[in-house]
Amino acid sequence: MVPSRRPWNLGATPSLRGLWRVGRAREPEPGMARPAPASPAARPFPYTGPGRLRTGRGRDTLVSSDEDSSARSAARPALAQCRALSVDWAGPGSPHRLYLTVQQALLDKGCENKSQGTKEEKLPKRQAPAPRRDREAQEAGGTMNVEKTGGRLFGSGRCSSLGGPPGAAPMVHRMVEAMSQLQEEKARLQEELAAMQERLALQDSDQQATSTQPQNQVENLKEKLISQAQEVSRLRSELGGTDLEKHRDLLVAENERLRQEMRRFEAELQELRAKPAAPCTGCEHSQESAQLRDKLSQLQLEVAENKGMLSELNLEVQQKTDRLAEVELRLKDCLAEKAQEEERLSRRLRDSHETIASLQAQSPPIKYVIRTVEVESSKTKQALSESQARNQHLQEQVAMQRQVLKEMEQQLQSSHQLTAQLRAQIAMYESELERAHGQMLEEMQSLEEDKNRAIEEAFARAQVEMKAVHENLAGVRTNLLTLQPALRTLTSDYNGLKRQVRGFPLLLQEALKSVKAEIGQAIEEVNSNNQELLRKYRRELQLRKKCHNELVRLKGNIRVIARVRPVTKEDGEGPDATNAVTFDADDDSIIHLLHKGKPVSFELDKVFSPRASQQDVFQEVQALITSCIDGFNVCIFAYGQTGAGKTYTMEGTPDNPGINQRALQLLFSEVQEKASDWEYTITVSAAEIYNEVLRDLLGQEPQEKLEIRLCPDGSGQLYVPGLTEFQVQSVDDINKVFEFGHTNRTTEFTNLNEHSSRSHALLIVTVRGVDCSTGLRTTGKLNLVDLAGSERVGKSGAEGSRLREAQHINKSLSALGDVIAALRSRQGHVPFRNSKLTYLLQDSLSGDSKTLMVVQVSPVEKNTSETLYSLKFAERVRSVELGPGSRRAELGSWSSQEHLEWEPACQTPQPSARAHSAPGSGTTSRPGSIRRKLQPLA
């Protein structure tokens, strides 16, 4: 009976290919557990370690690689009937286990050995997975079909994934059945054995060749492994891990040595600092010492920097050492892997040899082994290629590590150089420090010597001085003995003076009393002298006034002066504009007029040429103004034909004022001078007489006609009811008053120039004074009159209103002439009332008044007839004598009540207030001007 052949699936048999997959991540086969981690503790199998032999009975026998075969040989007898041999590979990757199970009992003794019972026999029969294993083996290219002769090969540790849970009853039964089947096939196998032996003999030669090939490959692999191991060791020596360590150790030692040196330097520095400072300041050595100290501090700084650099280098060396240790560790791992691989291969080789040997002994197994070796040969090739790839990878890593090590060597080199530099610097610093220390010592030595020398000298000097002091002391003692009597005398003197000082306040009081009495007497004498001087002063003042008045009287109460204006553009050119007036070089009171070819001369009080200034003219009239302060009435006329310069002389120009403003300035300054003795009040009125109508230029209603009346007190004085009177205290007040009067005139008349030429303008200044000491009251009135033009009617050929104006002017001027003529002839009746002008000026023209007429003369030829008329009139006036001047002064004649009654219409609003409320105050005007003339339009 030919037993049925059942193919044995060897696909799951651990092969060399599987063994070479150590350490490689591999996906588990379907239905198999994922490979366990590399840690031995975490492995699913009991870790057996390298070379651990596991028997099928679960006992492990630890063997070395050398002992492997012997251990296995020793273990083999224990597996007499059913032997399970397993070799555990404990590489870093997933463990693989090879089970070579040879059931010798099935091969040699048959089924009767079954009764001895081994654990392996009780293992579940693995029939079901066999086809799948065949497939897997076929896929791996290593499928081998053998007859079921009792040989069994399967992967240990995968029982649960192959058929069912180990120890399960159905599986055991199936195993038993299989074993019985195997026994039944015993005979068949024996037959087959014979056939196989025959075939084996035939295939002997082929077998030899086939068996030597894998052996050679294994040998080659072994050699390669050895060479790789050598290469690794060589690389390790080349990498210089030991050198690096040596470098590191050297650096650490160097660092430690430098630190110790630093500590020593610092201690020395501390000692040097602790030493007392040299007493010599400012000497050469101290400066040098300071420099050395500075240098030392710099060196310390540098040393500190070097320390920092050293610490950085240490850190760097430490890092590199760590990296080196890592590399070493990895190399060790690699070497361990290599060793294990090598061991495994050698073991595999031995196993192969054994297998071959056993196969050679038994023809069927030999065939099986030969085929297995064939399969393994291809797997070994693959493993070799993988090993080569891995070797390549390791070489790359080694190259990288070599590169890193080279860099580290360079860094170490630079560190070494830096350390050498630092060491050189430190040596230099040390030498400098030593030098400085030596210098310091020398310096201290010299200082010590200096100090000793100085002490000796000082001691010698002190001895000499002590000697001198002793001598002086002896002299002082002798002096003291001689001075004692003098001291006693001085003490007695001091006591005497002390007693005198005690009585000194009494004496002082008496002396003060007498001095006070003398001072009081002196003050009384001075007061009486002052009174006497005051009396004399007043007497002298009166005398001065008398003299002044006498002077004025001698000059004449009516004085006439002439002023010739210069030729102006208005005079035109040609023969009419030629000069017809000449002067006497020797007599300033003579004026010559060339009239119709005949020279006519006139004698007046004074004649002013065109060159005379305003101040020159005022100089002549200021004596009159001063007499006004003394209580005299004064009247100053400006007479002459139109355009002869009357307004110029009386009012002047803003920058060159005339008599009006200068007179008021003089009045204010005189009043100021006498303010200590007199109280003066100055009031101002302004009026105009036009066509025999008197108008108030400062009133609220300038068009109102004013009348001149007698005072009702029966004093015979005249007054003008409604005539405004402003009290002024400064030139500014005067200017404001004139401004207001000018505004009134411009409001009333459109052609002011014409009007002003045809009217008389009067500025009436009243000065009232009270003598503070005597109570004497004085009143003086200053009339400043700018008369209208004196042209004759017939010559001017005027008609209508002009004729009427001329008639009024001539009437008033002739009335003035009549009054003056009456005064000259001393007539009983003086016709003051013939005109408003003479009537208003009655006070100033009567016997106690002073009159000055300024005759304005045009120098040009065309005006000679009028000039002749004016000069004749002036000469006639000059001949009048008003009689002795008298003052309007009464001792306590009128009280303030009487003053008010005498001036019933007196209004004394504040000029400033009036000036501000005046309409048209913005009109341009000349200060101190009542009778303004605007320039005719071209």
Ligand X SMILES: Nc1ncnc2c1ncn2[C@@H]1O[C@H](COP(=O)(O)OP(=O)(O)OP(=O)(O)O)[C@@H](O)[C@H]1O
Binding-site residues from annotation for ATP: 640-647
Q: Is 618 in the site for ligand X (CB under 6 A)?
A: no
Q: Which residues contact 47 (CB under 8 A, 6 or more apart)?
A: 40, 41, 88, 90
Q: Is 756 in the site for ligand X (CB under 6 A)?
A: yes
**Which of 156, 340, 647, 685 is in the footprint of ligand X by CB under 6 A?**
647
**Applying CB under 6 A, does 757 fall inside the site for ligand X?**
yes
Stretch that binds ligand X, among 247-255, 643-651, 826-834, 898-906 (CB under 6 A): 643-651
- Which H/E stretch holds residue 644? none
DSSP character for 907?
-
H or E element at residue 636: strand 633-640
Both tokens assigned to 264: 């020593």
What does the alpha-carbon distance between residue 555 and residue 604 come to, in Å, rounded to a whole number? 11
Residue number with CB closer to ligand X (163 or 640): 640
Strand ranges, E, within 676-800: 678-690, 693-696, 705-706, 709-710, 718-719, 726-728, 760-771, 777-786
Alpha-carbon 322 to chain mean position: 54
3-class secondary structure, 921: coil
- Residue 206 makes CB contacts below 8 A (sequence gap 6+) with none
Rounded to whole angstroms, what are the CA distances from 775 to 560, 729, 769, 771, 780? 36, 22, 9, 5, 16
Side-chain-side CA neighbours of 592 within 13 Å: the count stands at 11
Q: How far is the CB of 561 from ligand X (least distance, A)?
A: 13
| 658 contacts ligand X (rule: CB under 6 A) | no
35 close to 93: Cβ distance less than 8 angstroms: yes
Under the binding rule (CB under 6 A), the answer on residue 933 touching ligand X is yes
- Please state the closest distance from residue 566 (CB atom) to ligand X, in A: 5
Our CB check for ligand X shows the closer of 644 and 689 to be: 644
CB of 640 to ligand X, least distance (A): 5
Regarding 789 and contact with ligand X (CB under 6 A), the answer is yes
For ligand X, give the closer residue by CB, 365 or 640: 640
What sign does the CA torsion over 393, 395, 398, 399 have? negative
- Least distance from C-beta 582 to ligand X, angstroms? 17
Q: Where are the alpha helices (DSSP H) in 129-240?
A: 130-139, 159-162, 169-184, 186-202, 204-239
Q: CB-based burial of residue 922 (10 Å sphere; 0-12 exposed, 13-18 middle, 19+ buried)?
A: exposed
- Nearest residue (CB) to ligand X, 240 versus 645: 645
Helix (H, G, I), strand (E, B) or coil at 490: helix
CB 411 within 8 A of CB 316: yes
- Minimum gap (Å) between residue 925 Cβ and ligand X: 15
Judged by CB, which is closer to ligand X: 653, or 827? Answer: 653
Query: How many residues in the shown chain lie near ligand X by CB under 6 A?
Result: 16
Q: Is 422 helix (H, G, I), strand (E, B) or coil?
A: helix
**Looking at beta carbons only, is 341 or 791 nearer to ligand X?**
791
Q: Is 856 in the site for ligand X (CB under 6 A)?
A: yes
How far apart are CB 753 and ligand X at their closest, in Å?
A: 7
Question: How far is CA 897 from its chain centroid?
Answer: 79
Angle at 725 (CA atoms; ends 722, 726), nearest 5 degrees = 145
Residue with Cβ nearer ligand X (221 or 813): 813
The answer to whether 56 contacts ligand X (rule: CB under 6 A) is: no
Least separation in angstroms between residue 856's CB and ligand X is 5
For 284, 399, 439, 447, 448, the CA distances from 433, given in Å and listed in that order, are 19, 49, 10, 20, 22
Residue 652 lies near ligand X (rule: CB under 6 A): no
Closest distance of CB 790 from ligand X, Å: 8
Binding of ligand X at residue 416 (CB under 6 A)? no
Show the tokens assigned to 332.
């060790």
Residues, the chain, total? 938
646, 888, 914, 926: which one binds ligand X (CB under 6 A): 646
**Which residue(s) pair with 718 in the sheet?**
710
Q: Considering the rule CB under 6 A, would residue 568 count as an interface residue with ligand X? A: yes
CB 604, min distance to ligand X, A: 16
Please, are residues 781 and 764 in contact by the beta-carbon 8 Å criterion? yes
Three-point CA angle 555, 559, 564, nearest 5°: 125
**Least spacing, CB of residue 764 vs ligand X, in Å:** 19
| Residue placing its CB nearer to ligand X in the complex, 658 or 885 | 658
Q: Which residue numbers belong to the known binding site?
A: 640-647
> Contact between 633 and ligand X (CB under 6 A)?
no
Does the protein bind ligand X through residue 644 (CB under 6 A)?
A: yes
91 contacts ligand X (rule: CB under 6 A): no
Confirm or reject binding of residue 928 to ligand X (CB under 6 A): no
Q: How far is the CB of 759 from ligand X (least distance, A)?
A: 9
- Count of CB atoms within 10 A of residue 129's CB? 21
Q: Which of 8, 20, 89, 648 binds ligand X (CB under 6 A)?
A: 648
* CB of residue 806 to ligand X, shortest distance in Å: 12
User: Whose Cβ is closer to ligand X: residue 35's or residue 645's?
Assistant: 645
812 lies in the site for ligand X, by CB under 6 A: no
Phi, psi angle pair for 409, to nearest 5°: -65, -40
- Binding of ligand X by 565 (CB under 6 A): yes
Helices 284-361/241-274 angle, 10° precision: 160
Stretch that binds ligand X, among 150-158, 554-562, 644-652, 847-855 (CB under 6 A): 644-652
Piece in contact with ligand X (CB under 6 A), picked from 59-67, 134-142, 358-366, 560-568: 560-568
Between 87 and 562, name the residue whose CB sits nearer to ligand X: 562
Q: Which stretch binds ligand X (CB under 6 A): 315-323, 564-572, 581-589, 841-849?
A: 564-572
**What minimum distance in Å lies between the beta carbon of 859 and ligand X?**
10
- 760/836 with CB nearer ligand X: 760
Stretch of residues binding ligand X (CB under 6 A), selected from 280-288, 534-542, 561-569, 626-634: 561-569
Are 850 and 623 within 8 A, CB to CB? Answer: no
Shortest Å, Cβ 757 to ligand X:
3
Does 632 bind ligand X (CB under 6 A)? Our answer is no
Give the position of tokens 């099935």.
Answer: 106
Q: Which of 14, 645, 702, 859 binds ligand X (CB under 6 A)?
A: 645
Contact region for ligand X (CB under 6 A) — 14-22, 53-61, 446-454, 641-649? 641-649
* Strand-strand pairing, 145-146 and 83-89: unpaired
Neighbours of 260 (CB within 10 A): 10
Binds ligand X (CB under 6 A): choice among 566, 572, 721, 892: 566
Q: How far is the CB of 849 from ligand X (least distance, A)?
A: 24
Other beta carbons within 10 angstroms of residue 116's beta carbon come to: 12
How far apart are the C-alpha atoms of 853 and 638, rounded to whole Å? 6
Tell which phi-psi region holds residue 714, choosing left (phi > 0), alpha (psi between -120 and 50) or beta.
Answer: left
Binding-site string for ligand X from residue 346 to residue 365, where x marks contact by CB under 6 A and - marks none: --------------------
Angle at 520 between CA 519 and CA 525, to 5 degrees: 95
Of the candidates 765, 717, 709, which has an alpha carbon nearest to the alpha carbon of residue 737?
765
- Interface region with ligand X, contact rule CB under 6 A, candidates 323-331, 346-354, 642-650, 824-832: 642-650
Residue 7, classed as helix, strand or coil, is coil
Query: Contact region for ligand X (CB under 6 A) — 20-28, 85-93, 197-205, 637-645?
Result: 637-645
Does the footprint of ligand X cover residue 89 (CB under 6 A)?
Answer: no
Does the footprint of ligand X cover residue 755 (CB under 6 A)?
no
Cite the DSSP H helix spans in 275-362. 284-361
Give 248 or 563: the residue with its C-beta nearer to ligand X: 563
Q: Which residue is closest to ligand X by CB? A: 645
> Closer CB to ligand X, residue 627 or residue 647?
647
**Pairwise CA distance, residues 386 & 405, whole Å:** 28
Instruction: Give the residues lining the site for ligand X (CB under 6 A).
Output: 565-566, 568, 640, 642-648, 756-757, 789, 856, 933
